[in-house]
Chains A and B, each alone.
Chain A
């Protein structure tokens, strides 16, 4: 194995043929260290073919698994192919590939987190144009999670993330089914892995439809709340000897 680190960018996409080519091309251009893997989550349009044309490797799921299942396929791929780092980038073009460099820099600086998350809300000068209901939901999760993990989590629903090998291994084995981002933060905490947030820019979508329509927002809230609260009651993993010291050993709220 060479001393140079290997990077994989996983782009989950469901019916994103309008934007996927742009996303893949800007990744290849502005984040050339990354191999690009598009996970086509059972799209009914030609997302997979377009992504392949743009030069990405493509995992084509036989039917729609939801964002959790699609991203987990990426984790399994990264794990199977022994990537050192894996980034998750949305297929709708709201993340800026050039910012991956910042995530990597944060990942490689002390105290060496296991996941770096790009947050919309740490940037003072950037206004995130989302409906009030969505922002309220995000802030409720943010304050709840911050309390549970005893660390400020400003943007728990952000899908712009970089993982190291330990996080890849964890999530390749177990990743939440739908709306996974919030629960993933909790899982990292329970497994004594560290996360850090850094400010990033985010754009509005360049095409397609968000996986969370306004009608599903209430369901989203209830489902994730249930998952978070039940997750608290779940048996904690045993710390393996030789693992890093627990960041925060406090349990419960």
Chain B
């Protein structure tokens, strides 16, 4: 029975390894994020294949059934990966914030530059029906 569990775990871990490698090959997964996945796949393959190692690990931490140790270690990797992604999301959110702020600042500056260059080209102020333009014009020319 335990052998069959180990076989399933071995096959699952090998499939995981291939899926991750294939995703990296197709550039669907960046190497930076693939490393932790590869590490977990390799460790799981090692433990699923090397029966004595698993028994030793299980014994050392007080788990009666060695296959359970395999699941505990797999769960540990899952938690590690989730934390890794939370950190990645936090960094992305911070970078996105800076980009949004920079974009707004550049748009504002561009609008100012366009307005002043229009004014310089036209020489005399053009009266327009649009009240927003009139008001902005009044501000720029008073500067």
Interface of A with B (CB < 8 Å)? 39, 49, 52-53, 55, 57-63, 65, 69, 72-73, 76-77, 80, 177
Determine the distance from Cα of A72 to Cα of B94 in the docked complex, in whole angstroms.
Answer: 12
Q: Does B103 contact A58, Cβ atoms closer than 8 Å? A: no
- A-B pairs with beta carbons under 8 Å apart, 18 shown: A52-B132, A52-B136, A53-B131, A53-B135, A55-B135, A57-B108, A59-B104, A59-B105, A61-B100, A61-B103, A61-B104, A62-B103, A69-B101, A73-B104, A76-B101, A76-B105, A77-B105, A77-B108
Determine the distance from Cα of A49 to Cα of B133 in the docked complex, in whole angstroms.
Answer: 11
**From DSSP, what is the main secondary structure of chain B's interface residues?**
helix
**Which residue of chain A has its CB nearest to the CB of B93?**
A177
Q: Does A62 contact B100, Cβ atoms closer than 8 Å? A: yes
Determine the distance from Cα of A73 to Cα of B139 in the docked complex, in whole angstroms.
Answer: 22
Specify which of A49, A52, A58, A69 is in contact with B97 (CB 8 Å cutoff). A69
Q: Does B97 contact A65, Cβ atoms closer than 8 Å? A: yes
Interface of B with A (CB < 8 Å)? 93, 97, 100-101, 103-105, 107-108, 131-132, 135-136, 139
Interface centre among A55, A59, A65 (most CB of B within 10 A): A59
A70 → chain B closest CB, angstroms:
9
The verdict on A60 contacting B97 (CB below 8 Å), with A49-B132, A53-B135, A55-B139 known, is no
Q: Does A69 contact B100, Cβ atoms closer than 8 Å? A: yes
Determine the distance from Cα of A4 to Cα of B103 in the docked complex, in whole angstroms.
Answer: 30
Specify which of B105, B135, B136 is in contact with A73 (CB 8 Å cutoff). B105
Q: Chain B residues with Cβ under 8 A from A61's Cβ?
A: 100-101, 103-104
Determine the distance from Cα of A76 to Cα of B100 in the docked complex, in whole angstroms.
Answer: 12
Determine the distance from Cα of A177 to Cα of B105 in the docked complex, in whole angstroms.
Answer: 18
The verdict on A53 contacting B132 (CB below 8 Å), with A65-B97, A69-B97 known, is yes
Q: Does B108 contact A177, Cβ atoms closer than 8 Å? A: no
A55 → chain B closest CB, angstroms:
6
**Which residue of chain A has its CB nearest to the CB of B104?**
A59
Determine the distance from Cα of A62 to Cα of B100 in the docked complex, in whole angstroms.
Answer: 6
Q: Chain B residues with Cβ under 8 A from A53's Cβ?
A: 131-132, 135
Specify which of B97, B101, B131, B136 is in contact with A177 (CB 8 Å cutoff). B97
Q: Chain B residues with Cβ under 8 A from A76's Cβ?
A: 101, 105
